[in-house]
Each structure stands twice: as C-alpha cells, then as structure tokens.
Amino acid sequence: MLSEIQMTTVASFRGTTSLVTDKKVNLVYGLNGTGKSTLSDFLYKPSDTRFTQCKMLPTVTDTILVYNQSFIHDHFYESDRLNGIFSLSKENKAAEQKIAEAQRQIVGLQDALSAKLQEIKAAQDALDKKRNDAADAIWEIKTNYCGGDRVLEFCLDGLRGQKDRLLSHLLNLPKPTAEPQVAIPQLKKDAEALSDASAKPLEELPELAFAQRAVECNPILSKAIVGNTDSSIAGLIKTLANSDWVKEGLAFLPPKIPDQGSQCPFCQQRTITASLALTIRDYFDGAYTADVSTLGSLERAYRTAVDSIGSCSEYTG
C-alpha cells in the first residue's frame, strides 16, 4: 500500500509536495489548478518524462488502476457520426480511427474520380463537336461537287449516303505531305476525257528487257583486284595506291633489260634492272591478269547491251 506520494517540479508543484497517508481510501479535492489531475496522471503513467523527479513510496510493483481523462483519451473512441456510441480499448480505438481515416480517403478519391470523369466527358463532348463540325464541312464540299454536272460524282461511289461514313473514309486515307496542286477544274477535265465516247485506252508500255542485267550481280564487281601480295614489291605498290599506273609503265620497258639497266618510265633515271623488271611483272601474275580480263569482258558486254536499248520514244509513244 502507498504511504507517500512526492510531487516535485511538475505542473503546479513548484517545489516538493508530499501526500502522506496510512488510509486505504483517500479523497483528494481542491480548486482548479491545485494539481489533482497532475497527481492522477502520475499514478496513471509514472514513467512519463514529466514525472522524473516524482516518487511513490514504497516502490509500487502492482498495477495501479486509474480512471481519468488520460485513460478516457487512450481507451474510448466516439464516432463523429453517432453521438453516444463509442468503442472501448486502445485496440478498438486505433481500428476505428483507421477505418474513419480510410473512409475519408475513399470520399476524397470518389470526389477526384468524379472530377476526372467530368473532365473526360467534357473532352469527349468537345471531340464529338469537332467531329460533327468536320463531317458537316466535308458533307458541304461533297454536296457542291456531286450536284450539277456530276462529273466527279463517281469518286464518292458508296459514300454519298452518310456523313459519318464519308468522314471515316477520308480519315483513313493517307494524307499528302504537301498541298495538292491540281485544281478541281483540271480534275473535271481529266475525268471527262476518260469518260468521253471517243476516248481510247492507252497501250501498256513494253517491259524494258536488258540482256546483261546479270552483269550487275557478278561477284567480281565487289572484288578488290590486286596483284601478287607475296611479291617483294607489293608493299611499295600498295603505298603508291595506283597499281594501274605501275602496270602501264611496264609497257615502256624494253623486252630485254641491258646489263647497265634501263631508263625508268616513272622517274626517267636509269634505275630499272632486269631483276626489278621481273619482280614488277611477277606482281601482275596470272590471277590478276585473268580478273582484269574478266572485268574488261563484262564491261564490253554491258556497253553493247546498253547501246542496243532503243530510244525513249519507243517506250513513251
């Protein structure tokens, strides 16, 4: 049983105030602000940091039951919607509060959804209006060119009965990248020419036959024609990057090189020896010569085929 309660430096207790008793039942009363609620809060939750300097003597190990405003706040939850209806216990209060918060969020989400649906309806109404305006404008154009001489009426076969069908047809057509340059009168003139009784169908253009088209796919056209890469002079010719120039120079060398050497067709100095001439000739070996010959034959055949093609007038009429 408690015999003394010391309240020190908390709320209205400026110094240390002690309640000493040996009674089982004690009645504490006084004016507002004298510390009654502070005393009950200490008994309700002595571990609160406000009461670090307060004491109960002797030390209490049993549970102290306190019914005060703090207990009511922790354990009772009263619904905002139903006065007098409340839940008891901390667990029920927390659950009720979560339910109430969830219901408030639901209301907020429903309001947001309603606003979005209104925005969607407004956008759909605006789209429908624009579509109807477009259908009316297109229908007016159709009316202008389907009446009267009716020259262009055939262009709208199957589309003259419904605005929406005509609009959908036009929306599905690929749009030109630039404004058409042909005016309505010219279109009418062309249409009349096609439907005139004296009109005659044009003959189909004959297919262009090119006998040597296979030449274009010959593998040798994608082949790099080079000489004997194992030749000692191959590196120099590669550096010059002009093997044709070197090959043409061979034609200026005499068939037999004298011992004192021959004049170089490139630098005009007497630097060409028999062995050097042989090395250069060996670079342009049989494979190189064969490839060049094949390429020449293909070129001649291709030119002959091109020359055999008739003039453009044979195809344009």
Which amino acid belongs to residue 188? K
CB 44 within 8 A of CB 73: no
For the chain, the C-alpha Rg in angstroms (whole number) is 54
Q: Mean pLDDT, to the nearest integer, of 295-302?
A: 89
Q: Over 60: is that where the pLDDT of 286 sits?
A: yes
Q: Over 90: is that where the pLDDT of 123 sits?
A: yes
Q: What is the pLDDT of residue 119?
A: 95
H or E element that contains 18: strand 13-20
Q: What is the pLDDT of residue 110?
A: 94
Which one is predicted more confidently, 102 or 87?
102
Q: Mean pLDDT, to the nearest integer, of 161-183?
A: 87
Q: Mean pLDDT, to the nearest integer, of 199-221?
A: 78
CA dihedral 293, 298, 303, 309 (to 10 degrees): 160
pLDDT digits (tens, 9 = 90+) for 126-158: 999 999 999 999 888 888 776 666 777 777 777
Give the 3-state secondary structure percentages of the chain, helix then strand then coil, rounded to 5. Answer: 50, 10, 40
pLDDT digits (tens, 9 = 90+) for 6-33: 999 998 898 899 999 988 898 988 888 8
Q: What is the pLDDT of residue 315?
A: 58
Q: Where are the domains of the chain?
A: 4-66, 213-314
Q: Over 70: is that where the pLDDT of 63 sits?
A: yes
What is the rounded distance in angstroms from the CA atom of residue 262 to the CA atom of residue 246? 16
CB 35 within 8 A of CB 7: yes
pLDDT digits (tens, 9 = 90+) for 29-41: 888 888 889 999 9
Burial call 52-70: b when 16+ CB within 10 Å, e when fewer: eebbbeeeeeeeeeeeeee
Helix/strand/coil for 101: helix
CB 86 within 8 A of CB 77: yes
Q: How many CA atoms lie within 13 A of 162 on its CB side?
A: 5
Q: What is the pLDDT of residue 147?
A: 64
Mean pLDDT of the chain: 82
